[in-house]
Amino acid sequence: MSELARLDLGRRQRLGMVEAVWGEHKSADQITAVMLGLQRAGELALVTRVSAEKAAAVERQLVDQIGTDGAVPAPEHHPLARCLTWPSPPPADPAFGRVAVLSGGSSDLAVAAEARLALACHGVASDLVLDVGVAGLHRLLGELEGLRRARVLIACAGMEGALPTVLAGLLPQPVIGVPVAVGYGVSAGGRAALMGMLASCAPGLTVVNIDNGYGAAMAALRILQLASGGTSAAREQGT
């Protein structure tokens, strides 16, 4: 294991977060070794950016390692979010409330799904609000009453990335913008959306990197932990 990775097994106690593993540039062998290390430490494994082919290879290797007697549940691949989890995410913690994850269009859905899965891995419930981009502003306006019940809003948008700015100008909750690499020509792989969000005139808007649904989820988690009186690990220990 030491030749492949040094696991941060204290992250949950330190930050209230499980260690996430970037899977896109790791081999199936590397991902398998890391997931086994996390499993042996009693930690949930969350591996992001895993293709269906690589996920199948990891699943085969893990079955070879742990057997098929059902004593240990099989890992789960989430195709839309492009992630692997092992074991399943925990039940939602009602102390966190709910997060609303919005997408400008269905092209943003993979990034939104990554954010929702990352939240679920930390016991945070979320609702998906789909197709509320500003090209049809009436659709967003029709969702405002329901959105007021969410504690944090995560807005995923490509093209010019205007959705988070509109939300931050209409609603008081923390808004986290996620620029998405969707759009023609000058959209430049999400850079136009990123720059638009960074240049937003809506005060207090938080912006993460392009396609970084996981990072947006962790920003929301930090806010929720503070609002709910500390990390989930601290609450479990009564501290």
Residue 239 falls inside a structural domain: no
Chain CA centroid to CA 233, Å: 19
Residue-number span of the structural domain to which 139 is assigned: 94-227
In this structure, are 153 and 216 located in the same domain? Answer: yes
pLDDT in tens, 140-191: 999 999 999 999 999 999 999 999 999 999 999 999 999 999 989 888 899 9
Given a cut of 90, whether residue 234 has pLDDT beyond it is: no
Given a cut of 50, whether residue 239 has pLDDT beyond it is: no
CB count within 10 Å of CB 185 equals: 6
Last residue of a domain, one of 33, 51, 86: 86
In this structure, are 111 and 205 located in the same domain? Answer: yes
Percent pLDDT > 70 in the chain is: 91
- pLDDT score at 237: 47
- pLDDT score at 4: 61
Chain CA centroid to CA 198, Å: 20
